[in-house]
């Protein structure tokens, strides 16, 4: 079945550091790929999506590029802020059924 793997369970950075969170997927065809962010006690917020090979999604300074060759959709940000501290989820979607499969999440902590 479809699956998503996020390599980093936790990431600790200082403000203005560069962020990379790795996301790899396993699915047939061209699934839609998503990034979500979740703050404590809240529901996840949609960041952005990509649906085709080499398509780049971006929002709030975060970006990721759909790479079918490496089955990846890594999240990057050039300069993180303390307010970026949250849990980040990569997700794989079947746009026909609406089924979303989430990775285990990455806890990002940014120190001032």
Partner 1 sequence: AQTIHQWPVAEIKAVGSPLSLGCTIKGKSSPNLYWYWQATGGTLQQLFYSITVGQVESVVQLNLSASRPKDDQFILSTEKLLLSHSGFYLCAWSLTGGEQYFGPGTRLTVL
Site for partner 1, rule CB under 8 A: 32, 34, 41-46, 49, 89, 93-105
For residue 72, give the DSSP letter: B
CB of 36 or CB of 77, closer to partner 1: 36
Report the residue number, 29 or 42, with the smaller CB distance to partner 1: 42
DSSP 12-70: EEETT--EEE-EEEE-SS--EEEEEEE-TTS--EEEEEE-STT-EEEETTEEEE-BTTT
Nearest distance, CB of residue 105 and partner 1, angstroms: 5
CA distance linking residue 14 with residue 45, whole number of Å = 23
Nearer to partner 1, 14 or 95 (CB): 95
Nearest approach, Cβ of residue 57 and partner 1 (Å):
10
The token pair at 45 is 């917020």
**Using CA atoms, how far apart are residues 86 and 44, in angstroms rounded to an integer?**
10
Q: How far is the CB of 49 from partner 1 (least distance, A)?
A: 5
What's the min distance (Å) between Cβ of 91 and partner 1? 8
Nearer to partner 1, 29 or 69 (CB): 29
């Amino acid at each position: 079945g479809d699956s998503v793997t996020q390599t980093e369970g936790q990431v600790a950075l200082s403000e203005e550091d560069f962020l990379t969170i790795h996301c790899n997927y396993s699915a047939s065809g061209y699934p839609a790929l998503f990034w979500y962010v979740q703050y404590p006690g809240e529901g996840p917020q949609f960041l952005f999506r990509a649906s085709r090979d080499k398509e780049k999604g971006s929002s709030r300074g975060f970006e990721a590029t759909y790479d079918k060759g490496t089955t990846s959709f890594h999240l990057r940000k050039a300069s993180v802020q303390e307010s970026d501290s949250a849990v980040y989820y990569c997700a794989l979607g079947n746009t026909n059924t609406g089924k979303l499969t989430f990775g285990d999440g990455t806890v990002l902590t940014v120190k001032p």
